[in-house]
A and B are shown apart, each in its own frame.
Chain A
Amino acid sequence: MLSQSLIEDVLTAALSTGGDFSEIFVEDRFTNNFTLQSGKIETCLSGRDFGIGIRVFKGLQSVYAYTTDHSKEGLLKAAKNAAQAISGNSIIQLAPFVHESVENIHPIHLNPQEVDKSRKASIMKNAYDSAKNYHSSISQVTVRYMDEEQNVLIANSEGKFAEDKRVRSRLAIQAVAVRDNQMETGFHGPGAHQGFEFFENLNIDHFANEAARIAVTMLDASPCPSGKFPVIIDNDFGGVIFHEACGHGLEATAVAKNNSVFANRIGEKVAPSIVTYIDDGTIQNEWGSNNIDDEGEKTRKNVLIENGILKGYLIDKFNSRRMGMESTGSGRRQSFRYAPTSRMTNTYIAPGTSTPEEIIANTEHGIYTKYMGGGQVNPSTGDYNFAVMEAYEVKNGKLGKPLKGATLIGNGPKTLQLVDMVGNNLGHGAGMCGSLSGSIPVNVGQPMIRVSEITVGGTKGE
């Protein structure tokens, strides 16, 4: 994407004032984003993102410059702008580049850039028809189609020179159901690190019908009661609770400065022994997977919590300096506009032994959440909140009426201690995660789990 000699010049210019490490990230990304509403394709956006990020370290100082000006002058100016933040004499010389051949562990069969757009349109129409025809109360369906091809080149002063291509595809279906003055919604958004074959192999009817079914079901839902209850969280996207409640607190961004509730606790028991929590960027073709991270390190399977014991953190190159620990291949960023930092990939609770039927049958009175919405955490305090899209009452070991308007709040480390059953039905769900280095694709996952007590905020008093 840029010549090797230009890259050498940029990395050298970045080090000219005494930096001890410099890095260049070149990104060339092709995207398609289409929206279908009321049965018609309304928006078709296609484009090319192109830019360069330059990073310099000196000890525990990190400088980042980026530009969309790809001329030699523009790049050298950006490198010098970055270098100006550091003062001193050049102390480091570039190591000779070692060209890495990045092994592609996420095979792509049909590059979406080479697929006719009318085929993409028909995928969207199928999803629309399927959701719209599910039930007469479905008043509106919005289908979003997304594909992208991101080409990256990462080189640094330590001799790294790696290139990679990442292809992602996603379909998001939102259904609205209406009765009288009441409007409810349902959503499903499957995605993968895959080409157009993802859509061709996808059971579109299933996901469209589920989105519609949730909206229709919620028309008959009762307001969720407030209070403290045992909560059963189903598998798949349900894992968002631990993404918020503990994943973010295990990222070096929070741990390195001792602001995380999990800082300095390696080897301690932070969860019941039935809980094992893993971040694995290598799972073939999963939404959150990559061959290499955005600092050129191979992604890996990182066991964070094993049988309740805290084993490790998610660490990027810069924070590894502050922490004195190795990078875990977790440096990620939305685009060249962001300096990379430690982020999750596909994070999940490992499966246990209980069947979903056993978990429900063992719960006398509580709340069962079938689908979660999104959530948020404050990593300094561990306080989290997240919304429930579809919930049911549990009474005497059986599922009861549907409930709406539930929000779960609590403290991550405390909730983690209260997990008392882990199911055997592990599933993963695709989402977008926003943090310091922007919005990135991640999977959240878990089998069905039960937490003995969570505070549920609903619209109906206690």
Chain B
Amino acid sequence: MNIQEFQANLFSAALASGFTDVEMYYEKKEVFGCQIFKGEIDQYEIAEDGGISFRGIFNGKMGYAYTEKIDDASIPFLLDNAKENTLIINDEDREEIFAGSSHYEQGNFFSTALYEVTIPEKIQFIKDVERELLALDTRIVATDYCMIRTETVSRSLSNNKGLSLTDGMNYLYVIVEAIVKDGDETKTSFEFTVSKDFHNLNAKEIAKKAAEEALSQLGSKNIVSKDYPVLLRNDAAANLLATYSPNFSAENTQAGISSLKDKLGTQIANHKITIVDDPFLEDGLASRTFDSEGVATKKLTLVESGVLQSLLHNQKTAKKEQAETTGHAHKDSYKSAVKVGPSNLYIEPSDLSFEDLLATMDEGILITSLSGLHSGANTVSGDFSIAANGFYVADGKVQYPVNLMTIAGNFYQLLQHVEEIGSDLTFPLSPIGSPSVLVKSLSVTVE
């Protein structure tokens, strides 16, 4: 059924049944994905996906409901559930339906050229990646993850206060896992590539990067477990920052589960650290012109030279602190409630190259990947103890790969103990990015 028609019916039924302010959020997605195994298509995925979320104020309280079945029969389902939900909500901090910002910046997150890339072109490309990968070295074996995927997402938000917004984006990504086997030793690596510029992607380069990363880990050795200076390579540093990024949300500070509570204006990190959130970042995976409440987005500095300048706010958290929303209302999808979340958040790069950072290390560990962040990192206390892969560094040079390790420390202490920041900002298939980060010391345990 036509979505405008559905919205008109929904709004009039909602207002007739006692809702005062109402909003509809609609998301639509087109997906294509293909996975190759030994030169053949192994998995192929094509989809049209979408759903709507209704929010409305009933007796002064906000009720929510969503549906993926868009037909007239869903309207009473949405209204009954949203209404019943307002009855059990007893939070005094009220959500509001937003009438609109005075100005919305234009964002161009959609590439027509990318949208026009055909399915056969994409399949051929990913076949090329696998062929190049397997040809590079006899120790490389066929892998499960050699896939290409494109997504096109459009979202729209309208309410009965006259707001009607829409934006959209598309992106392509390639994931390649390289598995290398040498005798009893098996090592793996994941290479992520995100781009809107399909015709400049180079299959051989992607394959080579994945292969080198896995091959370089062969022949790993044991070293003494102790505290070492640690260089977190850009992608590993970004993954760690992503794990702790919810702590920059005012929702978490207000709930008492983020230690950044009452830290505005204080030095929470080394002066070399500046953290920004940029909703207009080119090729950003979380770029957006309006947030999930319809507030216009803009670039925000969270940490400047180590000093906490701002937290991320939506209307509700801002009101609680007599502040302005920063345009960071966030919904994971139409199925979610309005929470607070970053757009493209990253540590600003310096002008020191990765090699410059490495050269400053007399002895230390280079960490190239982290795993188990979802369980080994406590976002409340800041403590982490996580599995890591990496290399032993001496005299400013990578010496050899180290057996599986854990690195342990505390995120807040780590921020204070940062010694240098690199220039190599990256976003590893994520809207959270970082350059490489050199840390004074972390506890390293080797298997």
CB of A226 within 8 A of CB of B381, answer: no
B335 touches A47 (CB 8 A): yes
The answer to whether A409 and B406 touch across the interface, beta carbons within 8 angstroms, is yes
In this assembly, does B135 line the interface, its C-beta being within 8 Å of a C-beta of chain A?
no
Which of A68, A261, A455 meets B49, CB within 8 Å?
A: A68
Closest CB in chain A relative to B383 CB, distance in Å: 5
| Known A224-B385, A405-B408; further 19 A-B contacts with Cβ < 8 A | A28-B69, A44-B64, A46-B82, A47-B68, A47-B81, A48-B67, A61-B41, A62-B42, A67-B49, A185-B378, A226-B443, A227-B225, A257-B142, A259-B179, A337-B49, A407-B406, A457-B385, A457-B408, A459-B409
Closest beta carbon of chain B to A314's beta carbon, Å: 16
When chains A and B are docked, how far (Å) is the Cα of A69 from the Cα of B69?
8
Decide if A214 is an interface residue (CB 8 Å cutoff).
Answer: no
Taken residue by residue from 55 to 88, chain B's Cβ proximity to chain A (1 for < 8 Å, 0 otherwise) reads as 0000000011111111000100100011011111
A373 interface residue (CB < 8 Å to B): yes
Interface pair B386/A117, CB less than 8 Å apart: no
Chain A residue at smallest Cβ distance from B67: A48
- Which residues of chain B have C-beta atoms less than 8 A from A65's C-beta? 45-47
Partner of B404, one of A41, A383, A404: A383
Q: Across the interface, which residues of B come within 8 angstroms of A139, CB to CB?
A: 256
Flag if B89 contacts A455 (CB, 8 Å). Answer: no
Binary contact readout A17-47 vs B (1 if CB under 8 angstroms, 0 otherwise): 0000000000010000010011011111111
How many pairs of residues, A versus B, come closer than 8 Å at their CB atoms? 250
* Cβ of B2 to closest chain A Cβ, rounded Å: 12
Main secondary structure of the interface of A (DSSP, over half): strand
Given contacts A41-B88, A456-B445, contact A185 B381 (CB under 8 A): yes
B375 contacts which of A77, A178, A375, A462 (Cβ < 8 Å)? A375
Please tell me if the beta carbons of A121 and B88 are within 8 angstroms of each other in the complex: yes
Contact B226 A462 (CB under 8 A): yes
Which residues of chain B come closer than 8 Å to A461, judged between CB atoms?
225-227, 443
Task: Identify the 5 closest CB pairs spanning chains A and B, nearest first.
Answer: A457-B406, A385-B387, A374-B375, A44-B85, A47-B66
Tell whether A134 is near chain B: CB-to-CB under 8 Å: no
Q: List A residues at the B interface (Cβ < 8 Å).
A: 28, 34, 37-38, 40-51, 60-70, 74, 77-78, 81-82, 85, 117-118, 120-121, 139-140, 142, 176, 178, 181-185, 224, 226-227, 253-254, 257, 259, 261, 337, 339, 373-376, 378, 380-381, 383-387, 404-407, 409-411, 455-462
Cβ contacts under 8 Å, B186 to chain A: 261, 380-381
A261–B187 CA distance with the chains assembled, in angstroms: 12
Q: Separation in Å of the B152 CB from the closest CB of chain A?
A: 15
Choice from A37, A50, A178 contacting B67 with Cβ under 8 Å: A50
Please list the residues of chain B having a beta carbon within 8 angstroms of any beta carbon in chain A: 37, 40-51, 63-70, 74, 77, 81-82, 84-92, 141-144, 177, 179, 186-188, 225-227, 255-257, 259, 335-337, 371-372, 374-376, 378, 380-381, 383, 385-387, 404-410, 443, 445-447
Neighbour of A47 across the interface among B67, B188, B405, CB < 8 A: B67
- Chain A residues lying within 8 Å of B37, measured Cβ to Cβ, are 257
**A331 nearest CB across to chain B (Å):** 14
A residues in contact with B387, CB < 8 Å? 376, 383-385, 407, 409, 457
Let me know if B84 and A48 touch, CB within 8 A.
no
Q: Are B381 and A253 in contact (CB under 8 A)?
A: no
Task: Indicate if the CB atoms of B408 and A48 lie closer than 8 Å.
Answer: no
* Residue of A61, A142, A178 most packed against chain B (CB within 10 A): A61
Whether B68 contacts A185 by the Cβ 8 Å rule is no
Residues of B within 8 A of A183 (CB): 257, 259, 380-381
A78-B48, A259-B179, A339-B45 known; A386 vs B376 contact (CB < 8 Å)? yes
Distance from A188 Cβ to chain B, minimum over Cβ atoms (Å) = 15
User: Are B49 and A407 in contact, with the CB atoms below 8 A?
Assistant: no
A378 to B386, CA, bound (A): 14
Contact (Cβ within 8 A) B443 A38: no
B48 touches A74 (CB 8 A): yes
* Nearest neighbor of A27 in chain B, beta-carbon distance: B68
The distance from the CB of B84 to the nearest CB of chain A, in whole angstroms, is 5
- Cross-interface CB contact of A40 among B41, B69, B92, B408, cutoff 8 Å: B92
Q: How far is the CA of A65 from the CA of B31 in the complex (A)?
A: 9
Q: Is the CB of B337 within 8 A of A43?
A: yes
Are A407 and B443 also in contact (CB < 8 A) when A67-B49, A74-B48 are? no
Q: What's the minimum C-beta distance from A423 to chain B, rounded to whole angstroms?
A: 24
Q: How far apart sit A78 and B256, CA to CA, in the bound complex (Å)?
A: 47
Q: Is the CB of B443 within 8 A of A374?
A: no
B141 closest partner in A (C-beta): A259
Nearest CB on A from B139, distance (A): 13
A46 touches B81 (CB 8 A): yes
Contacts of B81 in A (CB 8 A): 46-47
Smallest CB–CB gap between A148 and chain B, Å?
12
Among candidates A85, A176, A455, residue contacting B447 with C-beta atoms closer than 8 Å: A455
Q: Which residue of B lies closest to A455 (CB)?
A: B447
Which residue from B51, B255, B443 sits with its C-beta under 8 Å from A459?
B443
Q: How far is the CA of A40 from the CA of B254 in the complex (A)?
A: 13
The minimal Cβ–Cβ distance linking A13 to chain B, given in whole angstroms, is 14
Whether the Cβ atoms of A63 and B49 lie closer than 8 Å is: no
Given A386-B376, A406-B385, A409-B387, check contact A462 B225 (CB 8 Å): yes
Cα(A227)–Cα(B445), bound, Å = 7
Q: Which residues of B contact A253 (CB under 8 A)?
A: 144
